[in-house]
Amino acid sequence: MDNVIENKRRAGEYAATLVEDGMVIGLGTGSTVRYFVEALARRVREEGLDVLGFVTSGRTAALAEQLGIRIHQGDSIIPIDLTVDGADSVDAELNGIKGGGAALLFEKIIATNSKRNIWVVDESKLHERLWNFPVPVEVVPYGSFSLLRRFEQHGYQPTMRMASDGVPIATDAGHYIIDLHIEDHPNPQALATELKQTVGVVDHGLFLNIADAVIVGGTELRVVKKVTTIQEEVIK
Ligand SMILES: O=C[C@H](O)[C@H](O)[C@H](O)COP(=O)(O)O
C-alpha cells in the first residue's frame, strides 16, 4: 500500500483509541479523518462505545451516519471533549494550515468549542515553517473577485478555487474559497488578524494555537504534544 495512505490510516486509527465512553467528539474532515471515523464506528459497533459526534462537513456527516455514529442535529453546540481533525501543513509550534477540503469554517467552529484538539497527519505534512500549502480564505461570494484583486495587490498570489465545471466551488456554508499562495510570511498571527479584519472574509485556514497534539503517521507512529514546551514520544 502507498506509504502516505498507510501513514494516514495508522494516525487516524490510533486517534480512535483515545476516545472514551460518553465523550462528545468533534469529527473533522478529510482522507485521514476518514480512518479515524471508520475506526471509531467499529468501536461503537463492537464495544458499545457511546459517543455523540459534532461534524465539520456534509461529507463527514454522511460517513458518520452511514457507519452508525450518533450525530448531533441542529445549530446548537455543547462543549466538545475532543476533536480529531486533519491538517494540510503543521509547523514546529503545532500551528497549522487547514481547509484543503474547503471545510475550514465549520472545522474552526468545532475546534474552538473543543476542550482538546488532536490532528492526525502523515509525516509529509510536518514542516519547520507553515508556508508549504496555500492559505485558504473563505469569503462571501458577493464582491469576492474584488477581494481577489485586493489580495493580488498585497502580493499574496490568490486564486479562486474552482470546481471542474469552471465555477467557484461553494463551501457547506455557501461561501467561496480564495487560496493565497504565500511563499513566506514573518508573522502568521499578524496575517490571521489582517485576514479576519478584511470585509468579505468569513474566516481563514490559519489555525494558530489550536492543536494540543498531533499524531504523525510515518516510519514510526509519533505523537507531538504541546504542553508548555513541545514534547515528542514514539508510540510504535
Ligand atoms: O478542509 C479540509 C480539512 O482542513 C482537512 O482536514 C485537511 O485538508 C486535511 O485533509 P487530508 O487528511 O485529506 O489530507
- ipTM score of complex: 0.99
HSE-up (13 A, CA, CB side) for residue 168: 20
Q: Which CATH number fits domain 135-203: 3.40.50.360, 3.30.565.10, 3.30.70.260, 3.40.50.2300?
A: 3.30.70.260
The cell numbers describing 146, all together, are 474584488
pLDDT of residue 229: 72
Q: Which residues contact 89 (CB under 8 A, 6 or more apart)?
A: 96, 97, 125, 127, 130, 131, 132, 133
For residue 1, list its beta bridge partners.
none
Residue 103 to residue 4: CA distance in whole angstroms: 21
For residue 25, list its beta bridge partners.
53, 82
Task: List, as residue ranges, the binding site.
Answer: 29-32, 85-88, 98-101, 125
Q: Which residues contact 165 (CB under 8 A, 6 or more apart)?
A: none
Report DSSP state, residue 126: B
Nearest to 204 by CA among 107, 86, 76: 107
Q: How far is the CA of 53 from the CAs of 11, 85, 168, in angstroms? A: 19, 13, 30
The cell numbers describing 15, all together, are 486517534
pTM of the model: 0.95
Task: List, as residue ranges, the binding site for substrate.
Answer: 29-32, 85-88, 98-101, 125
pLDDT of residue 232: 84
CA 107 – ligand 1 centroid, Å: 10
Nearest to 137 by CA among 202, 181, 73: 202
Residue 83 to residue 167: CA distance in whole angstroms: 32
Residue 233: alpha-carbon gap to chain centroid = 23
- Which residue among 9, 13, 27, 29 has the greatest number of ligand 1 atoms within 8 angstroms of its CB, and so is best to mutate? 29
Question: Would you please indicate which residues are annotated as catalytic (active-site) residues?
Answer: 107
Q: Which atom of ligand 1 is nearest to the CA of 205?
A: 4
CA 30 – ligand 1 centroid, Å: 4
- Which residue among 32, 63, 175, 215 has the greatest number of ligand 1 atoms within 8 angstroms of its CB, and so is best to mutate? 32
CA 151 – ligand 1 centroid, Å: 24
CA 102 – ligand 1 centroid, Å: 8
pLDDT of residue 1: 56
For 3-125+209-234, give the CATH class. alpha beta
pLDDT of residue 39: 98
Domain ranges across the chain: 3-125+209-234, 135-203
Q: Which atom of ligand 1 is nearest to the CA of 28?
A: 6
pLDDT of residue 148: 98
The tens-digit pLDDT sequence of the chain (236 residues) is 579 999 999 999 999 999 999 999 999 999 999 999 999 999 999 999 999 999 999 999 999 999 999 999 999 999 999 999 999 999 999 999 999 999 999 999 999 999 999 999 999 999 999 999 999 999 999 999 999 999 999 999 999 999 999 999 999 999 999 999 999 999 999 999 999 999 999 999 999 999 999 999 999 999 999 776 778 888 88
